[in-house]
Structure 1
Amino acid sequence: MDIDCIPFTKTGYFSKLICDYLDEKKTLHPFYNRFFHLKDFKGQLEEKATHFPLAHREVLYDALQRQYRDTKTSKKTKDHLRQLKEPITFTAVTGHQLNLFTGPLYFLYKIISTINLTQELKTAYPKFNFVPVYWMATEDHDFDEINYFNFKGKKLQWNKEVKGAVGRLATEGLQEVYDALANEIGPGKNAEALKSLFRKAYLEHDTLTEATRYLANELFGGYGLVILDGDDAALKRLLVPYAKRDLLENLAFSMVSETIAALDGLPEKYGIQVNPREINYFYLKDGLRERIIEKDDHFFVNETNLQFSKEALLTELETHPERFSPNVIARPLYQEVILPNLCYIGGGGEIAYWLELKAMFDAMQVPFPILLLRNSALLISKKQQKKLGKLNLSVEDLFLEQHAYINKKIREISNIDIDFSPQKQHLEKQFEALYELAEKTDPSFLGAVKAQEVKQKNGLDKLEKRLLKAQKRKLADHVERMTDLQNQLFPNQSLQERNQNFAEVYLELGTELIPTLVKSLKPLQTEFMILKYGK
């Protein structure tokens, strides 16, 4: 696979906050602990080692043994599970929703970035063990975000009326999605492998959690990936002291609010990713995940008749910690409490909200992990590479907004000059003389001169646009082919990785897809990657 790279800043798809974070801008230093330089992991190792009790390792190991009870596990994953009991073992973690059939391509990139990071850490720090962990977001309740995947321009969707945490959902109704996939996928060895993978994951497992664990394990088990479900009573028990401080002191709310104010006070005005609530926990039961709200020293479960006194709520927390589900603010803390973790690998939006959390971690006396932006990539097939060459397009051109992309190329390939900049410059020089004349004779005419300049410049703009439009009509076939190629590689005029499912590329590369991506993606490389595949 040939590899090219372009800076994230030149893609147009990453926020200023993320680009400034990658540039290690000084104003952002207070919002994270250590940057992801390989040398800085030494300090992170030492800090986490002194703040992660051996008892937590025992609880984690036992929980994972239960969760893996019915899963066929690779030798490497078994070794990693065993190593988690040892004080010299640490993790790198990514988290993701339980998207149907992995959802968009970046699900693969997140996990591969995590796997590859642990391999780089092992090379740099050979005396320690490093385990890649995928945290399944089993407690999320936004079904509409995860109940579909895109395949060859079609949305294959699981239609179901649901409530509560998605991980607990029964897989009933997924036969219809399988039938739709089988109808679209066509014949061939790789198509049969995909159908088998979907069938075994979703039609032979009872819940979405079990199906997702099977799927991720089939794809990445050979690399030693450990898959963790946080919806676990024993693991939640470790969170109890921290949940109390959220419920009773609103500690997370106050700390994150202060951080948001500090971020908002920066000259860059980055904007806020997520806002904290006074209480950052949901009440969780089968078919129910609703916010806990405090009013007049009583606690209510939103949209239900459930309510607790303070004493009753604390008893419920101690007796049934599994019923308290952290939200987007509290979940990162939960992760760091139960894992010997060094680094969180996430997308731009995730890194943005993690940057709001450091003060909360400090107040809770939990080490704040290193934050690493996952790899991002554009996959270009051999056929698409040939089209790029025929159309004389560069990959960088494709990242432009479609209107700018077409106009730029039309100007380049036209046999006439459709750039009126010289005429505008000539006009400006003429009006400079008119301004001087007006000032010498009657300054009250300056406004009239300015109005005339604006009018004539607008006239040139309109002429330029009409000429460009005429050239587009003349070169309609070329424009159509350019647009079609950009739409293939940037579906819905967005990044490929945010829309396309891995199955489309698997049809071409088959079992070579994952190893090829593992070999190509470099987690500590802070550039957008262009991966060209095919013979």
Structure 2
Amino acid sequence: MLIDFSEIPKSNNLFLDFINEFELVKNYYKINFRDESLYKSHFEKIVGRNNPNKEKLFEIINSQYSNFHPSEKTSSNINTLKKPNTIAVFTGQQLGIYGGPLYTIYKIFTVIKLCDYLNEMFSEFNFIPLFWMAGDDHDFEEISYINLINKENELQKIIYNDGIDPFENRGNVGNLKFTKEIMEFSNSIKDALRETEFSNDLFNLTEKILNENISIKDSFFQLLFKIFDETGLVIFNPQDAEVKKLLIPIFKKELLDYKEHTKDLLITSAELDENYHAQVKIKPINLFLQDETGRHLIEPVDDEYRLKGKRKRITQEEILNHLEEKPEDFSANVLLRPICEDYLFPTGFYIAGPGEISYYAQAIPLYKHFNLQHPIIYPRASATILESNIAKILVKYNLSTHDFFIGSEKLKSNLINSFSQNNLVEEFDKVELSLKDIFKSLTDYLGSVDNNLVNVANSSNDKMLHQLNILKDKAAKAFENKYDASFRQISKAQNSIYPNDNLQERELSIVSFLNKYGFDFFDWLYNELDIHDFKHQILEL
């Protein structure tokens, strides 16, 4: 089953036009992802660019995999990065505990399946799936929890509290190491889930990737390696100090020449705001600097710089010296990140979600400024997994997955109306009227026989109506119990299909599914996801 994104709440208009009416947004994206006739010339431009980073990147990636034993397919892909006709197909995501929401998995399967398709269709090129681990972000609160369906079929949010003041600037999330509190988090996951034949495998993985003194970055890497290594996915850590050395020219140009692109970025964002919505507020400099107090945006002040929220100024000479000596302290924001990616690699495609598609629209002036080829932006697969027990509830109550997208309160209101007691009341009203009519006729007849029988008849009528009301109350109570059970079932379906009034892929972790179905779940998902149908997919499991 497929659902058009226009029928799904919260779908932004820029994304809808990108998917369905590309001509309306073609000024913000160089190539229509649907038009495969343009692919080859695009690939030729990508491989035609001189890339001095190839050998060094090969060394860096091998170093990042030094503690792992990659599969033959992944090793082959890493080696292929050195070949002249190689094209990188990227996706990426902010780091998250246990991989974050399901859409991270959908992104990766999209990039893998797209590479398989491109390698078959354009055999003169080599397409490599890569994942950019965005560990430089500093929003700890956003990644510090998972949502799962617990043993009571309820939506449960499990939070990792690292024991640090929630308002403290922790700096780059990727470098943070789990504290002893991670054990409480892991135990909460175990307590929440019903034990199955697959639980031991899940908990063994949990113990490996969620333990004290392992960094969030390393935990994320280990998870992706476990799940995707056999597919050939190359996981890339851009926080690596050696990577940051390669990015010095980009960071330096951003610091020195920011005035050249700020005006163009503002113009593009104003156009987007007029017609759609600008996702990011434009800043003069798209760089952060990490110091002992956290990660801070770099702001220009006259001919000098300062860190946002701080008074101390930094001279141009000081900041450039810092860049040369410790480039790992610098990191790009969401607009400059694609530039870093496409400067380092021959990127032909980026697999993006709706929010990222908006970022790329704003970032297009930066590609001209840095003289880089804009990749084809390809939408990630989007899906809701409909489990068989949930599908049965939908059949029982004549509901579709689409019915849940109206939100829990509206759905509840509709259900109350459909489960209304009007039919029950009407049936008892009919019986009561019939009894009254029958007894009126009977009373009239008995009165003609013996007037003393009228009181006896009226008394009998009252007793029968009283018994009828007792039965009516019992029936109403039984109805309420039946309604309550029904609503509990539908609430169970709501938690699975549209948790927190949001798409399942944006809320649920993979944890519940791994516990119920094991790691074969990923094989099923790979086969079911269609990356060429750009609608929301309902996948029946």
Tell whether the structures are fold-level matches, with TM greater than 0.5.
yes
Count how many residue pairs are aligned between Structure 1 and Structure 2. 472
Q: Of residues 490, 500, 504 in structure 1, which corresponds to 2:508?
A: 500
**Partners in 1 of 2:364 and 2:308 — Cα distance?**
28
Change (3 A) 1:414 1:202: closer
Is the 8 Å Cα contact of residues 144 and 161 (structure 2) preserved in structure 1? yes
**Partners in 2 of 1:171 and 1:407 — Cα distance?**
44
Residue deviations 1:392-420 (CA, integer Å, cap 9, x gap): 11222222234444555677787999xxx
Residue deviations 1:454-481 (CA, integer Å, cap 9, x gap): xxxxxxxxxxxxxxxxxx9899445554
Residue deviations 1:153-195 (CA, integer Å, cap 9, x gap): 2222221226111111112222221222222234333111111
2:98 paired residue number: 101
Higher deviation after alignment, 393-402 or 96-105: 393-402
2:264 paired residue number: 255
Residue deviations 1:114-140 (CA, integer Å, cap 9, x gap): 111111111111222111111111111
Larger radius of gyration: 2
Is 1:327 the equivalent of 2:326? no
Is the 8 Å Cα contact of residues 103 and 150 (structure 1) preserved in structure 2? no
Is 1:131 the equivalent of 2:128? yes
**Partners in 2 of 1:524 and 1:307 — Cα distance?**
51
Residue deviations 1:427-461 (CA, integer Å, cap 9, x gap): xxxxxxxxxxxxxxxxxxxxxxxxxxxxxxxxxxx
Alignment of 1:248-327 (within 5 A): 248-250=256-258, 251-265=260-274, 269-285=275-291, 288-303=294-309, 307-327=313-333
Structure 1 residue 321, shift from structure 2 partner = 2.2
Is 1:170 the equivalent of 2:171? no
SS for the counterpart of 2:53 is helix
Structure 1 residue 513, shift from structure 2 partner = 0.8
Q: Of residues 57, 62, 66 in structure 2, which corresponds to 1:60?
A: 57
**Partners in 1 of 2:490 and 2:288 — Cα distance?**
49
Amino acid at match of 1:41: Y
Structure 1 residue 343, shift from structure 2 partner = 1.1
2:221 paired residue number: 213
Is the 8 Å Cα contact of residues 270 and 278 (structure 2) preserved in structure 1? no
SS for the counterpart of 1:73 is coil
Q: Of residues 5, 17, 29 in structure 2, which corresponds to 1:8?
A: 5
Amino acid at match of 1:255: D
Change (3 A) 1:34 1:87: same
Higher deviation after alignment, 5-14 or 218-227: 5-14
**Partners in 2 of 1:49 and 1:329 — Cα distance?**
24
TM, length-normalised to structure 2: 0.82
**Partners in 2 of 1:142 and 1:491 — Cα distance?**
22
Structure 1 residue 27, shift from structure 2 partner = 2.8
Structure 1 residue 284, shift from structure 2 partner = 2.2
Residue deviations 1:198-227 (CA, integer Å, cap 9, x gap): 111122863221111111100111101111
Structure 1 residue 105, shift from structure 2 partner = 1.2
Residue deviations 1:367-408 (CA, integer Å, cap 9, x gap): 111112211111111111111111111222222234444555
Q: Of residues 221, 235, 246 in structure 1, which corresponds to 2:243?
A: 235
Which ranges of structure 2 fall in alignment gaps of 5 or more residues?
A: 150-154, 424-478
Which ranges of structure 1 fall in alignment gaps of 5 or more residues?
A: 418-471
Change (3 A) 1:205 1:186: farther
Q: Of residues 519, 522, 541 in structure 2, which corresponds to 1:514?
A: 522
**Partners in 2 of 1:213 and 1:362 — Cα distance?**
33
SS for the counterpart of 1:356 is helix
